[in-house]
Amino acid sequence: MANNNIRWTMVIDTNRCIGCQSCAVACKRENDVPLGVFRTWVKSVEKGRFPYVRRGHIPINCNQCEDPVCVSVCPVKATYQREDGIVLVDPHRCIGCQYCKAACPYEVRYLHPEKKIISKCFFCHHRLDAGLLPACVEACPTGARIIGDGKDPTSEVSRILARRPVQVLKPEHGTEPQVFYEGLDEAMAETRGRRVP
């Protein structure tokens, strides 16, 4: 169960991601995510002009922020943070006001189309608690996603965070995301007003 000696942390190497959406599919299957909404997905961006081009992929899911906006704005404390850092939503308490969804700077929350309550990525806490890896981590064919204990200095994530250049999404909001990216490109992280085609 939740343990305050652990801080679940994810590192995603975008250089390894090939944009296959296996994580999105595995997540849908594992968590019974309904049609039209996603707990994780891969955004793809192309830049440059032939022959100097690059196609970049960035897997996106809940950042399990250390200082989450969603928790501070929820009027009924339905969304809360576990001691191991995972941000959860109490499905019996949520009233579906969608304030957390509006306030999240990463747009990783969705309103369940049938249950009419908010849901999002929970790092597959049911699997972590059972000693398994989250579905997306297990499904990734290139090993782009790594999850581990950020408080343990010898864990794989801690070693990567200590020795490699990493970046989080939108650090300016002070939410302290606990999903770190290697090889994050400015073109992938921002939309600059481009709408989804």
Partner 1 sequence: MKPMLLYNVPHDASFGAMIALYIFFTGLSAGSFFLSTLSYGFGRVQYRALSRPAIIMATLMLLVAPMFLLLHVGKPLRSWHLFLFVNPGSPISWGSFLLTSYPLFCLIYMACIFQDKEKAAKRWGLIGIPFAVSVHAYTGFILAFCPGRPLWHSSMIPLLFLVSAVVSGTALMILVFAALCKWRGDDMDVAGERGGLLLSLGRILGWLLILDLLMTGIDLLVASVSGGVDRLGVGTLLTGELAPYFVGIEIILGKLVPLFILFHPRLRRVGPLLVASVLIVLGILFMRLDLVHVGEMLPLL
Nearer to partner 1, 21 or 155 (CB): 21
Nearer Cβ to partner 1 (26/69)? 69
Tell me the closest approach of the beta carbon of residue 7 to partner 1, in angstroms: 23
Shortest distance in whole angstroms from residue 100 CB to partner 1: 9
To partner 1, the closest distance from the beta carbon of 112 in angstroms equals: 8
Taking every pair of Cα atoms in the chain, the longest distance, rounded to a whole number of angstroms, is: 54
The smaller minimum CB distance to partner 1, of residues 44 and 151, is found at 44
Give the residue with the Cβ less far from partner 1, 80 or 133: 80
Which positions touch partner 1 (CB under 8 A)? 19, 38, 41-49, 55, 60, 69, 72-78, 93-99, 101-107, 110-112, 115-118, 169-170, 172-173, 175, 187, 189, 191-197
> DSSP characters for 81-143?
E-TTS-EEE-TTT-----HHHHH-TT---EE-TTT-SEE---TTHHHHHTT---HHHHH-TT-
Place of tokens 């296959």: 20
Between CA 197 and CA 181, with CA 177 as vertex, the angle to 5 degrees is 65
CA distance 100 to 117: 11
* Close Cβ partners of 50 (under 8 Å, ≥ 6 residues apart): none
Query: How far apart are CB 13 and partner 1 at their closest, in Å?
Result: 18
Of 88 and 133, CB closest to partner 1: 88
**Distance of closest approach, residue 184 Cβ to partner 1, in angstroms:** 12
